[in-house]
Amino acid sequence: MGFMKRGGGHEGLLHPHTFLKVILPLGIIILWEICAILLNNEFILPKLESVFVVLLSPTADILGYGNLITNAFFSLERVILGFLIAAGLAIPLGISMARSDSIYDFFDSTMQLLRPIPPLAWVPLALAWFKIGLASMVFIIALGAFFPILLNTLDGVKSVKRNWIESAEILGANQRQVMLKVVLPGAAPTIWTGLRVGFGIAWMCVVAAEMMPGTNSGLGYLIMSSYNWGQVQVIIAGMIVIGLIGIGFDYLFKVIDRRSFSWRVLER
Amino acid sequence: MTLLIDHLTKEFVKNSDEPVEVLVDISVEVMDGEFICILGPSGCGKTTLLRIIAGLDHPTSGTVRIDGTVIDRPNRKLGMIFQDYSLYPWRTVNENIAFGLELQGVAEGQRAAIVRNYLALTGLSEFGTSYPYELSGGMRQRIAVVRALAVDPKVLLMDEPFGALDAQTRNKLQYDLLDIWGKTKKTILFVTHSVDEAVFLADRILVLTPRPGRICDVTPVDRPHPRDRTSVEFAQIRRHVLDMINQPKCSLS
């Protein structure tokens, strides 16, 4: 690669890092297009252009089910609601379990038992308990986000050094001050990781939850309905939007992590 | 007299076995402004002794009193410095020093003034807005010392504070500590396993036996500071302390 930039940063498509990163996605897209042309069947694999048509007009109504953007917002709203409920329960529980052995013993076995059950296995029960609608979807999403947040909170609080807490007590801190000024800031980076992972799982769950019968909005619903109408290009466009929104939020979590919690890495 | 340690004994109970004695019948009267070094091998209970004095641990029998009050929990009259500095990595140097004052609800303006004074005492004034991970071990320990001093305790408890530092930095910090001690007139209890360090710093050296720890000998070091490590006199005191450690009543238990 004689034309490669020397000593440069990460800029330029011809930089080896960038080159390696884009080569596989580009290959997949090219292969896709070749297969689509050879197959020539829009119901199995639509051409790239058809998917782009859907993606490039995100405000156009699709089969009377609303457009991409409004459906994405419906999904987001549910995810945020379920995610906040999960965080609101998992963080206090995780802190209590980490700080008290009896609270830990009381909850641990139940949590261990519930944790391996995938959120989607709860769908029938969710429908039985909450009927069709927002409540059952939020229930599934909250279940998905709950465990990563709980486990990371537990880990984070346990990793708070005993000397940090004792130094504070010696300097005159009461229990509340120890919690607010030492335990929480000390555990914050790990709790944040839990929130990031939890949000990712919540986002995966919403799409599945929206495929439950009786739903009438959201990206998952859009994908399912498009399947019934044989609109494969909409399915793929919907999947791409789901992926992009997922990446976007993960990036946001990472940026805040780097800004606020850089001490965790640099401390080592 | 500031601090009175009275017939202090500590046993640990492990796995419902017989209790293990860690400290046996420790009694010390500490004078106001005195610099005491507690010298002993690893595992002799030095740290446990310091933790009990700090109120972080409870004795099995006996008491520790400061100004007549029995210590059974952390007390603001006693400050403690750990070997690993235990600064808060998410707080800047200024915020670390201000921590104790913040807990007491001291107003921000007043806090800043106190912090500035103590930071100046360390000679690290230009690092106020740095984070601990940006500082060397020696700099961090100096910050930890003034963080403890900022709330104005009467007694400083130091648990092998320079143990993790290289020899050069260690010497420098010993000088700095003596300087701070001279300026602030604190009472200091300093745990170490270095004879050299104890002879250099202390007014009085207490030698502890290996586990269980008991005080087997006390040596006053009645020499003015700063002491010259290369002097014959220093070597003699060091020899004396080493002899003390090696005598049967101190090496066996």
ipTM of the complex: 0.88
Q: How confident is the model at residue A56 (pLDDT cuts 50, 70, 90)?
A: confident
Asked whether residue A54 is domain-assigned, the answer is no
Q: Where do we find the tokens 């009193």?
A: B65
A171 touches chain B (CB under 8 A): yes
Q: How many structural domains is chain A composed of?
A: 1
Cβ atoms of residues A245 and A72 within 8 Å: yes
Summarised one tens digit per residue, pLDDT across range A161-198 is 999 999 999 999 999 999 999 999 999 999 999 999 99
Asked whether residue A98 is domain-assigned, the answer is yes
Asked whether residue A39 is domain-assigned, the answer is no
- Determine the pLDDT at residue A3: 43
Asked whether residue A51 is domain-assigned, the answer is no
Closest CA to B47 of B72, B19, B81: B81
- Determine the pLDDT at residue B209: 86
As given in the structure block, the two tokens for residue B226 are 């700063």
Residue A117 phi, psi (nearest 5): -75, 120
Query: Between B86, B90, B131, which is nearest A185 by CB?
Result: B90
Asked whether residue A22 is domain-assigned, the answer is no
Asked whether residue A136 is domain-assigned, the answer is yes
Q: Which domain holds residue A191?
A: 65-259
Cβ atoms of residues B66 and B157 within 8 Å: no
Best A170, A178, A261, A266 member to test B by mutation, with max B CBs in 10 Å, is A170
Summarised one tens digit per residue, pLDDT across range A117-161 is 999 899 889 989 998 888 999 999 999 999 999 999 999 999 999
Asked whether residue A126 is domain-assigned, the answer is yes
Residue B238, CA distances (Å) to A24, B72, B94, B223, B234 in order: 71, 36, 39, 13, 6
Closest CA to A220 of A78, A59, A26, A64: A78
Burial B127-156 (b: 16+ CB within 10 A, else e): bbeebbeebebbbbbbbbbbbbbbbebbbb
The percentage of chain A sitting over the pLDDT mark of 70, rounded to a whole number, equals 94
Cβ atoms of residues A173 and A230 within 8 Å: no
Mapped onto helix, strand or coil, the DSSP state of residue A7 is: coil
**Section A228-250 average pLDDT:** 91
Summarised one tens digit per residue, pLDDT across range B116-161 is 999 988 888 899 999 999 998 889 999 999 999 999 999 999 999 8
B90 touches chain A (CB under 8 A): yes
As given in the structure block, the two tokens for residue B159 are 């648990």
Q: Which domains are assigned to chain B?
A: 3-77+154-251 (3.40.50.300), 87-152 (no CATH)
∠ at Cα B190 (B181, B56), nearest 5°? Answer: 115
What chain A residue is nearest to B137 in terms of C-alpha separation?
Answer: A267
Asked whether residue A194 is domain-assigned, the answer is yes
Question: How far is A262 from chain B, CA to nearest CA, in Å?
Answer: 9
Summarised one tens digit per residue, pLDDT across range B78-95 is 999 998 888 999 999 999
Cβ atoms of residues A160 and A182 within 8 Å: yes
Question: For residue A202, what is the domain's CATH number?
Answer: 1.10.3720.10
